[in-house]
């Protein structure tokens, strides 16, 4: 056997070994729903987007029911700038007036959603794009936020405009996909009680859908490795109590706090585990699902 043939033979055995070791994890999650919040660098990088689409097809192929909920903040910002529509943020949330929400819906439900659908279909899968409006999937209400004035110590109501939060999720729409080989790709847009359109934070939308579908897992793709301790080391797993303690002592701070709070809320509502994953890592979802080491930081009840 030549050196080249030996190398090919060795690589083939390595691939077979990986598949064999993944089998127990595949059996464990067969028939289960997993909700993946897709955004950040993973969605903006063409090579990573192609790998993500292939991974979603693989999940279907081995018997899982992936549900993709995507964001699109940078793309919305670029379109608003192109149309010369002013936009501002308060506490990380985009203030959304009627002109802005039209653009938000156009970008999220249109170009972004259809690109993800096309990527999955091109990879050999069957994906369908939705928003929370379709089939009354997500009924929303206006998000209420307050902020304490540091001078007067008086709490003031912040008006974010047409920014919403999920009020009810109709899981029956998604149950029909579970019985097929179709992967739903959902834009974080909801409809209010008077037919108004609400812009919903994608993390919040994914959490609400995971809770409503009794998903086995919620995966939140981010642009960091996960939750780090005070020495900068990754914390692979934590309980809800440990997560709250890390928020209280300042280990978890800034933009990671609402992500962790969302994960805690989802787990408290019955989802087995919620995981913050580095979406910049190729095949991050597969690594988390089908290997012993996993990836990112997983939060569980106990």
pLDDT at 261: 93
Residues 208 and 226 in one domain: no
Nearest residue to 283 via CA among 45, 60, 53, 21: 53
**Pairwise CA distance, residues 289 & 113, whole Å:** 24
Query: Residues 201, 163: one domain?
Result: yes
Please report how the helices 256-268 and 240-248 are oriented relative to each other, as an axis angle in degrees rounded to 10. 150
- Which pLDDT belongs to residue 88? 82
Q: Is 19 part of a structural domain of the chain?
A: no
Are 148 and 195 found together in one domain? yes
> What pLDDT was estimated at residue 177?
85
**Any domain includes 276:** yes
80 and 111 within one domain? yes
Q: Flag whether 271 is in a domain.
A: yes
Do 211 and 299 lie in one domain? The reply is no
Q: Evaluate whether residue 1 is within a structural domain.
A: no
Same domain, 272 and 196: no
Query: Does 124 map to a domain?
Result: yes
Query: Which structural domain, as residue segments, surrounds residue 270?
Result: 222-302
Whole-number pLDDT of residue 18: 64
Q: How far apart are CA 260 and CA 250, in angstroms?
A: 13
Last residue of a domain, one of 165, 198, 215: 215
184 and 59 in one domain?
Answer: yes
8 domain-assigned: no
Structural domain includes residue 137 = yes
Does residue 195 share a domain with residue 67?
yes
Q: Which pLDDT score, from 0 to 100, does residue 171 have?
A: 87
The beta-strand segments (E) located in 29-153 are 33-38, 65-70, 89-90, 93-94, 126-131, 138-142, 145-148
Q: Among 164, 181, 215, which residue terminates a domain? A: 215
Residue where a domain stops, chosen among 187, 215, 243: 215
Sequential pLDDT tens for the chain (302 residues): 555 565 555 666 566 666 666 666 667 778 899 999 998 778 888 899 999 999 999 999 888 999 999 998 888 888 998 999 888 887 777 888 899 999 999 999 999 999 999 999 999 999 999 999 999 999 999 998 777 766 666 777 778 889 999 999 998 888 888 878 899 999 999 999 999 999 999 999 999 999 999 999 999 998 888 899 888 899 999 999 999 999 999 999 888 888 999 999 999 999 999 999 988 888 889 888 887 766 789 999 88
The CATH number that applies at residue 198 is 3.40.1160.10
User: Is residue 193 domain-shared with residue 273, that is, in the same domain?
Assistant: no
| Residue 101 within a domain | yes
Query: Do 137 and 263 share a domain, yes or no?
Result: no
Q: Tell whether 89 and 209 lie within a shared domain.
A: yes
Total domains, the chain: 2
Do 183 and 257 fall into the same domain?
no
Residue 225 confidence (pLDDT): 86
């Amino acid at each position: 056997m030549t050196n080249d043939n030996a190398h090919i033979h060795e690589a083939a055995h390595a691939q077979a070994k990986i598949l064999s070791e993944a089998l127990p994890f595949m059996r464990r999650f067969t028939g289960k729903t997993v909700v993946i919040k897709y955004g950040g660098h993973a969605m903006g990088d063409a090579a990573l987007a192609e790998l993500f689409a292939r991974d979603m097809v693989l999940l279907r192929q081995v018997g899982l029911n992936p549900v993709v909920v995507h964001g699109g903040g940078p793309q919305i910002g670029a379109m608003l700038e192109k149309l010369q529509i002013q936009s501002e943020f308060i506490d990380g949330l985009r203030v959304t007036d009627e002109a802005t929400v039209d653009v938000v819906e156009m970008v999220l439900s249109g170009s972004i959603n259809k690109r993800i659908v096309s990527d999955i279909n091109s990879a050999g899968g069957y994906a369908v794009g939705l928003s929370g409006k379709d089939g009354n999937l997500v009924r929303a209400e206006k998000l209420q936020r307050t902020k304490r004035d540091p001078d007067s110590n008086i709490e003031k109501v912040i008006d974010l405009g047409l920014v919403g939060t999920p009020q009810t999720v109709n899981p029956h729409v998604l149950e029909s996909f579970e019985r097929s080989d179709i992967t739903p790709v959902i834009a974080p847009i909801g409809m209010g009680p008077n037919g108004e359109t609400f812009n919903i934070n994608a993390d919040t939308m994914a959490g609400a859908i995971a809770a409503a579908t009794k998903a086995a897992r919620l995966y939140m793709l981010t642009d960091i490795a996960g939750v780090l301790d005070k020495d900068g080391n990754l914390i692979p797993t934590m309980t809800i109590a440990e997560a709250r303690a890390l928020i209280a002592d300042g280990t978890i701070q800034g933009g990671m706090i609402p992500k962790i709070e969302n994960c805690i809320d989802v787990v408290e509502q019955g989802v087995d585990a919620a995981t913050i994953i580095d979406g910049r890592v190729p095949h991050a979802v597969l690594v988390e699902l089908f290997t012993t080491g996993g990836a990112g930081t997983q939060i569980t009840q106990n």
